Structure 1
Amino acid sequence: MFISKRFILLLIAGVIPAALAYVTNVGAYVFLAYNLLLLILLVIDFSITPKPEKFEISRVMEQKLSLAAWNRIEIIIENPENDIYRAKIRDGIPDSFMVGSELISLIITPGVTKISYEVKPVKRGDYEFFDMHIRILGVLGLCVRSKTLLVSDKIKVFPNLKDMRNHYLTVVHRKRLLSGVQKVRQLGVGTEFESIREYNPGDDYRHINWPVTAREGQVYVNRYEPEKNQYVYLMVDASRVMNEEIGGIKRLDYAINAAFIVAETAMDNGDNIGLLAFDNEIQRLIKPAKGMTHFRRLAESLYNIDISDSSADYEKAFSTLQNMQSRRSLVLLFTDPYNFEHVNEIISSWKRYAPRHRVIVLSIKNPSLGIAASMRTNNAESVFIKSAALKLSDDRRRTFSILEKSGIPALEAAPDTFTIDVINRYINLKMQFK
């Protein structure tokens, strides 16, 4: 049992009348009587306030939480009494989680009371919600009855699929990929015929349907959609270059978020999707396949990839890819080409071990670099910061240019649009892939 703030205030307040009564030589008796009354009321309050064990308390939550998103946790309290009680609950939230308020104040009504709060995980992996601590304020507000409840829940933190699934551009492109028309394979072209429409300025002349154009008297073109059953590899760099935080989220987590959505989109489109995660060793390796069972396996492998302190071994990664995948594949390489040596290693390893595969490098842009490069200078320190940022920005432009000239397309996108930009680039590459 604990005493409440109200009891402490009443105890302090008792000194005032005792001091006034001291003039009549009865101050000591008044003080003792007042405190005795408070003590009796405290005992009564403790006896009429139910034990926390009388309440049935449970935690309701999903077993898979989304990374860097607010996830709702619900607490349900069943009150068998007919009275209303004030309480505070402190849940056993994992230390690394962000939370709006660690202490939840609530009113427990007769029957079932529900209250919720939100947490934001900042790192993927396995976590456990531990014991829950509850404090019931006494009926008279003088005491506090507390109890630690043994309520444990194990959860997994996955990349954030919740917001991404509903994004407008993703929906638009999925409709484009999954239209329900009958498709006829056009041999020699890495796309499938979808429909015929009138010619618009900018359309490819090679897609003009000459028989229909001659019959109708105006120009018509064939519309195509990406060929299905292609092979796609998610190649995820988990080395130290992916440990940089942008907006409180590591580069690797941005990459895995995007990889999840690409995998889901590819599965929906009938493609075979594989995974190769690496640092100086191969962390994860899953051969391309399709189907929901395979997607779940990919998800389980992606969510707990760890960042290492080592550098990436691209020779090992690309040679492993070639040994595992003899058929030509579209390879989405999530990394950060941070300097010329790194870029040259990517290019040389690709050309030596896996030149037949179509590779694209995908990286997240750090907005703070652009802000620093465009800042106004008013002292020596700001001049130094701006100069360094301009140098880094120029180096990054040159590294991406080197990749492009070597035959490896490269994308650097802002954090908030990275996943959608990756999906768009994946779809465009599918249209060109043969």
Structure 2
Amino acid sequence: MKNLFRKYYTDLFLGKRLFIAIGVCVTLFLFSFFMPFLGDLPYILFGILMVLVLLDIFLLYRNDRGVFLRRDVPERLSNGDDNELKIYLENFYPFQISVGIIDEIPFQFQKRDLWFTANLSSREQKIITYTLRPTKRGEYHFGLTRLYVQSPLALISRRFNIGADKIVPVYPSFLKLRQYELMAVSNRLTDIGIKKMRRIGHSMEFDQVKNYVAGDDYRTVNWKATARKGDLMVNSFTDEKAQHIYCIIDKSRAMKMPFEGLSLLDYAINASLILSSVALVKQDKAGLITIAEKTGSLVPADRRPTQLNKIMEVLYKEKTRYLETDMEALYISVRAVLKQRSLVVFFTNFESMSALERQLPFLKRIAKFHLLLVVFFENTTLKSLSEEPAQDIEGIYIKTIAEKFAFEKKLMVKELTKHGILSLLTPPQKLTVNVVNRYLAIKAKQQI
């Protein structure tokens, strides 16, 4: 009896149309005191309404499985990207229904208005598609999907609680990773802003002797092969392979600053994952080091098929720390792990010249043994403030301070260049494209 009561009561909700009808009946009852000619009309209408309510309950509860619903969630979500989710619906009732859907998505999204509606004829199927954009890595808990069904009478709604709690991990941006991988393989990186770099000179990696085609460099003509075959033949060269590319990610408090929902650490993680992927496609070896007040995770450089998954699993767990970076620990780790000259891409952030000066002695030591590229971030808010015209004295002060900080960033680039250290000052949203461009330029110039 208790279960029967729960079945018919806890999942039964009154509709707007029922409240309107009850309001009409109450109004007629009130008017009947002053208008005797209404007679039994209010009672008749109220009786008809009760019969319709019972009929509506019968129609909705006659079938225990009147509607089929399935929510399709990916096994993992991509951080900072629009992830597509689908809700599959099918109507098993012998009449048309109206449905409302509340999907209990993780609290991290802070969405309280995720409500979908649809109308389905008998045996009709529909797919509702929507996107979610996570901005933090970690585990996300999906709850039930709550379905509210109305018959054509629309006096009441029946609720179906479908599904079960599901935990979905959010990994670094693997959706963009696949995009870059495909374009790197097909040499279509220019489609997303990656520049084609003009090669200076030739790589030492000989590939083959081939027939001359228009555009080949005359300096590569192989005269002996030309004499033997009678056609103009040229030597073909490829990029040097198996070079070591290490991404070093700073996890200190300097990387906690947010930008468009993501922290600077998350931008660095997404960029390093994509850079590692492009390096592996180019047949280089990719590695990873994380650093804060002590050395964190370490993935030695390799180019095995499983290397990218190793790097992704490590990056999935990384979080910002609240202490300053121990550059001495970083230098010791670099000297211990990197046994040959490598390209070291150091993702960090400097907000003042004094912050750079504290780290500069260790950066110079690393640059003695490796090709060091320091990547740090442009403060886009300060840049926009410095470009806006000042309206009053307070605006002049704000504009002056913003220009001072923006100028300091440019001074940092000059200071690093003075000591033979490569640098990249970039807005967070353009980090990935600019880093990959710089890597390809370094490969083209054979600087490693």
Q: TM-score, normalised by structure 1?
A: 0.85
What are the superposed Cα offsets for residues 77-102 of structure 1, whole Å, 9 maximum, x if unpaired?
A: 34333322111111121122276950
Match of 1:66 in 2: 78
1:424 equivalent in alignment to 2:433? no
After TM superposition, give the deviation of residue 308 of structure 1 in Å: 1.8
Q: Does 1:34 align with 2:45?
A: yes
Contact 1:239 1:280 in 2 (8 A): yes
Within 5 Å, which residues of 2 pair with 1:217-228? 224-228=237-241
Partner of 2:337: 324
Q: Alpha carbons of 1:224 and 1:413: their partners in 2 closer, same or farther (altered >3 Å)?
A: farther
State the alpha-carbon separation in 1 of the partners of residues 388 and 153 from structure 2: 60
CA distance in 2, matches of 1:371, 1:145: 53
CA distance, structure 2, for counterparts of residue 353 and residue 332 of structure 1: 11
Structure 1 residues 377-405: Cα deviation after superposition (integer angstroms, max 9, x where no partner): 11122112111101101111111211111
Q: Is the aligned partner of 1:433 residue 2:433?
A: no
Deviation at 1:281, TM superposition (A): 2.3
Match of 2:7 in 1: none
Conserved? CA contact 1:98–1:121, under 8 Å: no
1:47 corresponding residue in structure 2: 58
Paired letter, 1:162 = L
TM-fit CA distance, 1:76:
1.6
User: Aligned partners of 2:75, 2:19: CA distance in 1, in Å?
Assistant: 43
1:14 aligns with 2:54: no
> 8 Å contact 2:377–2:428 — kept in the other structure?
yes
1:284: which partner in 2? 297
Residues 319-364 of structure 1 deviation map (CA, whole Å, 9 limit, x = unaligned):
1122122222111111112222332233212344673121101123
5 Å-filtered alignment, 1:3-402, equals 3-25=14-36, 29-50=40-61, 53-97=65-109, 102-109=114-121, 110=123, 112-163=125-176, 165-166=178-179, 171=184, 174=187, 191-193=204-206, 208-209=219-220, 224-352=237-365, 355-402=368-415
Aligned CA-pair RMSD: 3.2
Q: CA deviation at 1:259?
A: 1.0
Q: Distance in 1 between matches of 2:67 and 2:157?
A: 15
AA in 2 matched with 1:127: Y
* TM value normalised by structure 2: 0.82
1:383 is matched by which residue type in structure 2?
A: I
**1:76–1:113 Cα contact (<8 Å) kept:** yes
Secondary structure of the corresponding residue to residue 88 of structure 2: strand
Which has the larger displacement, 267-276 or 143-152? 143-152
1:249 deviation in Å? 2.3
Amino acid at match of 2:49: L
Q: Distance in 2 between matches of 1:236 and 1:359?
A: 13
Distance between the aligned counterparts of 1:345 and 1:321, measured in 2? 18
Distance 1:383 1:221, change over 3 A: farther
CA contact (8 A) 2:108 2:140 kept: no
Q: Structure 1 CA distance, aligned partners of 2:132 and 2:345? A: 32
1:157-195 Cα shifts (integer Å, max 9, x gaps): 23334346546995499469xxxxxxxxxxxx8642468
Contact 1:246 1:366 in 2 (8 A): no
Unaligned runs of 5+ in 1: 177-188
Structure-2 separation of matches of 1:123 and 1:394: 32
Residues in 2 aligned to 1:198 and 1:100: alpha-carbon distance in whole angstroms: 62
Deviations 1:228-254 (A, max 9, x none): 001111101111111112233221121
1:74–1:39 Cα change, 3 Å: same
Deviations 1:132-156 (A, max 9, x none): 1111124410001113234233222
CA contact (8 A) 2:71 2:85 kept: yes
Report the 3-state secondary structure (helix = DSSP H, G, I; strand = E; otherwise coil) of the residue aligned with 2:107: coil
1:223 and 1:393, CA in 2 relative to 1: closer, same or farther beyond 3 A? farther
> What is the total number of aligned residue pairs between the two structures?
414
Paired AA for residue 433 in structure 1: Q
Letter in 1 for 2:15: S
Q: Which runs of 4+ in 1 moved over 6 A?
A: 195-200, 220-223
| 8 Å Cα contact 1:92/1:129 also seen in 2 | yes
**5+ long unaligned stretches in structure 2:** 1-11, 190-201, 228-232
AA matched with 2:117:
S
SS in 1 for 2:301: strand
